Structure 1
């Protein structure tokens, strides 16, 4: 029989072991329960994160990228491009990945657009070169035919009308050349501001509505030949715009200021609202070449042409003022450094002598004798021009005196036709019609 003390010790040891086991089991169950709770919370968090990722990816595909395409590819200004929809993802790998996708999309659109634009501009310039050369040769034939017939005849007037249409077509080609990154395609000698205004006037359809206030102090100022054609093209665009949005006269005046000259164009037609002025200022300040992938209306590229020329040659234009006649006042500012000195006295004397000599050689029976300095300078063909002539400057034409009792020019059809013929010769003789395709290449 066991000793009671031994029995008690055994029972005590067994109880201690059992208690320790139960305690360890309880602790294990509690740890397991805690772990299960943590796993459940992690599963819920993972489910929430997965749902956020799905929402964010759907938001990127359905909202962010379409808005980005509208802005980058379609050119819709003002379309907001949203960022992350789930704020808790900011700064995470997902945020960085989405930003990378946006950058790559932007670069892909820019590269594609540039490649398409470069190829399109090159093709357009090639086609314009050929068309411009053909029109110049056509114009040369017309001018040669006009020189063989007296002024004021119906045939001579029809040739002038045809020549005016060719001149307008050439201007259309010029504006496309400029917008595609090329130069106007003509190189001209130094010209007076008067000649520039008359040349620009002769390139629009409603040239009879343009009233130029001539002053010798400003009109006989010589503009450097390098910028004569760009300024003429820019002024043509302003005159065309003024004539298109008004019915009455378009007034042109040249004003001198401390650092240059302003050619002011006033019309009495429709004025521009604040939005249109903002758009016009943006177009006039744009210096880059035409983006053929975003052109919406080719009929509203005049301001873009002026902006491109202004940035390239150093003058400026502004259309934000109101004309005293109620329409738009357009101002073409030309700094002093773009003005030249004109021909020397020896050059002008030689040109007048050549003009008188040609007039004596080509005079026809019954024609009045040509006044000194009023005949045309012979059309020379310089070397390397592909056979196309280079027109030289000529002296201003002096109108013959009107005898007493003769009808006013406006009442005499023959005198009116002769006046139009003289205007046409002034316009043509101030230009060096040498197509770019036969002289230089970009």
Structure 2
């Protein structure tokens, strides 16, 4: 409206003056329009330059920070929020959509690579542990055969030392195999809880330092015997290794309404709150174990115990401190893991002796045969010992139990000579002296 009024006023003036004035006004209007356009173009250019700078910064941040962090969290098995951009101004733009597609593709590719690496690692570890276990069992069978042939106390003592080392190696191979997805690999009979704990004692290096108090009467179901033996052995080994060599590792039992707890106390250096929380997390067995994400050095014992506890339904805790300032480990077995005790059966030899005595009408003192319950018979000193079971001709020797020497082989050598004596002639018996 102002421009129209100015044009009308100029039209009423003199023609020469009016022409010059019209030209001036038009120039001013054109200059103003161009200035406005230039301002708008400058503003648009500045906005475009700002967006370009933001995209450059976002690309740098994506390449240097977000993608490496995303890869690290994916390899670690944790979630990562890769959707939030650095600059909110980029939300909803084509650039942001393309970036989201790139992140999804990268995440999928990283996850596939992690899965393939884990599968390859598990396959390799399972193959190695199976071969290692086969070699260990073959060596133990050779040791068992050697013990069957010899009765010299020095030979037996050395053989038991080798057998004890083999049992520890087999235990470590079992734990590593468990982390790779394998099974414990041994099926036991229903076994007294005390023998299960003694079986764990027999598989550690410092077995002489373990002191067991109490005699529980419960029987552990066959499918849980080997897992509990492995868990107890790992806890005992950890307790012995992290305490002074001269101190004892105490084991006792606590009966509760819902089951029985195996308490393991050591006098070691204990655990810091952070280490205790981390150990408790591993023992819970709730997180999936990935071989490609193990720490250096890996805590294979706690990881293996967690796998066993989650798989077989018992609980393991190191949340408490022992009375000696060390670690108190608790293995709780609920009632569902126990089975009724088998009915006692009279030995066949006693039945035959009783029948002959009854028929003759006489009586004499007959020593009762010891009762061997479960796969871990007990020696005079309270530790598990190897059975020397008779076998038929052509039958392969039984799998040797993992029991270290307790008497240097002297008692066992005397026992072997005593069992052979009734079958030897006087000359042969003199040669064995």
Does the 8 A contact of 1:319 with 1:330 survive in 2? yes
Alpha-carbon distance between aligned partners in 1 of 2:341 and 2:12, rounded to the nearest angstrom:
131
**Post-superposition shift, 1:33?**
2.6
Name which of 220, 231, 237 aligns with 2:228. Answer: 231
Answering whether residue 308 of structure 2 is matched by residue 309 of structure 1, we say: yes
RMSD: 3.8
**Post-superposition shift, 1:20?**
7.2
Q: Which moved more, 1:109-118 or 1:139-148?
A: 139-148
Q: How does 1:98-109 map to 2 (within 5 A)?
A: 98-109=99-110
Does the 8 A contact of 2:156 with 2:409 survive in 1? no
Alpha-carbon distance between aligned partners in 1 of 2:309 and 2:35, rounded to the nearest angstrom:
79
Match of 1:57 in 2: 59
Q: How does 1:340-379 map to 2 (within 5 A)?
A: 340-346=339-345, 349=347, 372-373=369-370, 376=387, 378=389
Alpha-carbon distance between aligned partners in 2 of 1:349 and 1:95, rounded to the nearest angstrom:
82
Match of 1:439 in 2: none
Alpha-carbon distance between aligned partners in 2 of 1:415 and 1:317, rounded to the nearest angstrom:
30
Match of 1:136 in 2: 137
Alpha-carbon distance between aligned partners in 2 of 1:334 and 1:249, rounded to the nearest angstrom:
24
Distance of aligned partners of 1:415 and 1:117 in 2 relative to their CA distance in 1, 3 Å threshold = closer
Does the 8 A contact of 2:199 with 2:229 survive in 1? yes
Match of 2:291 in 1: 292
Match of 1:359 in 2: none
Q: How does 1:139-158 map to 2 (within 5 A)?
A: 139-150=140-151, 153-158=153-158
Number of residue pairs the alignment of both structures matches: 369
Distance of aligned partners of 1:300 and 1:170 in 2 relative to their CA distance in 1, 3 Å threshold = same
Does the 8 A contact of 1:67 with 1:80 survive in 2? no
Match of 1:334 in 2: 333
Structure 1 stretches of 5 or more lacking a match? Answer: 1-8, 357-368, 393-413, 423-442
Distance of aligned partners of 1:379 and 1:283 in 2 relative to their CA distance in 1, 3 Å threshold = farther
**Post-superposition shift, 1:135?**
1.6
Does the 8 A contact of 1:246 with 1:269 survive in 2? yes
Alpha-carbon distance between aligned partners in 2 of 1:37 and 1:421, rounded to the nearest angstrom:
105
Q: Deviations over 1:44-65 (max 9, x none)?
A: 1111111111111112212322
Distance of aligned partners of 1:66 and 1:126 in 2 relative to their CA distance in 1, 3 Å threshold = closer
Does the 8 A contact of 1:167 with 1:203 survive in 2? yes
Alpha-carbon distance between aligned partners in 2 of 1:270 and 1:419, rounded to the nearest angstrom:
37
Does the 8 A contact of 2:282 with 2:306 survive in 1? yes
Name which of 221, 241, 245 aligns with 1:244. Answer: 241
Alpha-carbon distance between aligned partners in 2 of 1:374 and 1:145, rounded to the nearest angstrom:
26
Q: Deviations over 1:19-57 (max 9, x none)?
A: 777766654443333222211111111111111111111
**Post-superposition shift, 1:335?**
0.8
Distance of aligned partners of 1:105 and 1:43 in 2 relative to their CA distance in 1, 3 Å threshold = same
Distance of aligned partners of 1:295 and 1:313 in 2 relative to their CA distance in 1, 3 Å threshold = same
Q: TM-score, normalised by structure 1?
A: 0.73
**Post-superposition shift, 1:172?**
1.1
Does the 8 A contact of 1:64 with 1:82 survive in 2? no
Which gives a bigger RCO, structure 1 or 2 (Cα 8 Å, sep 6+)? 2
Match of 1:5 in 2: none
Answering whether residue 125 of structure 2 is matched by residue 124 of structure 1, we say: yes
Alpha-carbon distance between aligned partners in 1 of 2:396 and 2:92, rounded to the nearest angstrom:
69
Match of 1:257 in 2: 256
